[in-house]
Structure 1
Amino acid sequence: MKILLVEDDVRTADLVAAALADAGHVVDHAPDGLEGLRLARRAAYDVVVVDRMMPKLDGLALARRLRAATIRTPLLFLTTMSGIDDRVEGLEAGGDDYLVKPFAFAELLARIHALGRRPPLAPAETMLRVADLEVDLMSRKVRRAGTIIELQPREYQLLEFLLRNAGSLVTRKQLLEHVWEFHFEPKTNIVETHMSRLRSKVDKGFDNWLIHTVRGSGYILRDVLP
C-alpha cells in the first residue's frame, strides 16, 4: 500500500516509516499538517496516518480539510491524546481509526491493513460547476466560460466552499470557520474584502453574476438571483 505519514516528531516518523517500509509499504512523510494536506491533495494514498498535535495545521483540522475536499482516504490518528473525548473528536473530524502512543508496531500494522482492506468508496467528485463556472478539484483550476481565472489560495478556498454549498445561504460565520478556521468573530472585514476580490474575478464582465450578497445574512452562489 501507499501510505502518507503526517508526523512532526522526527524520531517517531523515522521509526514508523521504517516499520511500514519493512512490511512492504511505500511511505511518504509530511512533517506538518499543511504539507500533509498538500501531499494528500496531489497524490492518491491507500491510508493516511496522522498525529493530532502538529505545527501549522493540527490533525483535527487536517482531517476536516481532507473530508471537505472529498478526499475519502481512510485516516488513522496516531497520537498521545488518549481521552474518550479526544477519540470522539478525532472520529467526528473524519478519522476512521484511533491509536494511542505508545503503541505496538504489530497493532499499528494490523490497523493499517484493516483500513486498506475496506472496499473502495464511490468515486469522489472532482469537478464543481454552476452555470458556466467550473472548478477542477484535482488541478485546482478555475474556469468561467472556458477562460481560466487566476485566484489566490484564500480566494480559491472561498469559491470552493461557495460551490459546495451552491444555492444555499453561506453565512460570514461559516466562512470564517471553514476558510480561515476562526472560531471567534474577528473585528475586521476580512471576509468582505476577500469576497469583493473574488467577485471581481469571477463575475466582472459577465451579464449574469453568480455570487450574490444577502444583506445582513451572508452570500449565495447561484445562476439566478435569490
Structure 2
Amino acid sequence: MMEIHDIEVVVFDVLGTLVDEPGGLRAALPDGELVTLWQQHVETEQQRIADGLRPYVNSEVIDREAAEVVAARAGLTDPAAIARLATAGQKLPPWPDSVAGLDRLARRFPVIGLSNAGRRALLRISAHAGLRWHAALSGETVQAYKPAPEVYRLAIDTAGYPPERVLMVATHAWDLRGAQAAGMRTAYVERPVGDPPAGTDAFDGYFGGLGELVTASGIPESAPSGR
C-alpha cells in the first residue's frame, strides 16, 4: 500500500469517485436504459468537444440536452418536469466513506475537488453531498473536460507545488492516466462504478476505499482538526 509521505496537496475527482453518479440518476430515472442513454449522451458530447467537433459548453448545458433526449424517449413533454430532470446530475449521494474521509484528510492536507462538472453544478453537487473542500475546481474555468491536460494544470497551479507533490485520487483509470501525463502522483480508489486499471497501468497507489487512503496518510482517527 502506498504511504503518503511526500505529498503536499490531495486532488479528488468528484463524479464517481466521491459521489454515486449512476445511483443519483437512477433516483430520477428508474428505468436503467434511460440512465444509460443519459450517460451516453454526456460522454459523446464531451468527446466531441475534446475532438474539436463542438465548441465548449458546460455540464449544465449537456445535462439539459441529456434530459431532453431522455424525455423524448420516455414520452415526457411537461417543460417543468424536464427542467427538474435536467438537475438530476446535481443531486448525487456520496459514497458512505466520502464525507468522513475528506474531513480526515483535510486535517493534514489542503484538499481540492477537480471535476468536469460546471462551476455552478459543482457547487450544488458538493452542497447536496456534504463535500467540504479547501477549493473546488471546474474544467469550465479552462473550457475543457478531463483528461485534457489544461484541467490538471489548473489543479497543479492552484496547489502551488510541483506536480510530483500533488496527488490525484480517482476511480477512473483514464482520469489517472491524464493526471500522470501531467506529472501528478496518482491513487486509484475502487468504486462500483469506476474504470478499473489495466494491466499496463502503474499508479502510485491502489485502495479498496477512501478509508484505506486515509489510513495510508497516517492521520489518527481521533486527530483534532487543525483547519
- More relative contact order, 1 or 2 (CA 8 Å, 6+ apart): 2
TM-score, reference length from structure 1: 0.29
Relative to its length, the structure with more helix (as a share) is 2
Q: Which has the higher strand share?
A: 1
**Which protein shows a greater Rg?**
1
After TM superposition, the score normalised by the length of structure 2 is: 0.29
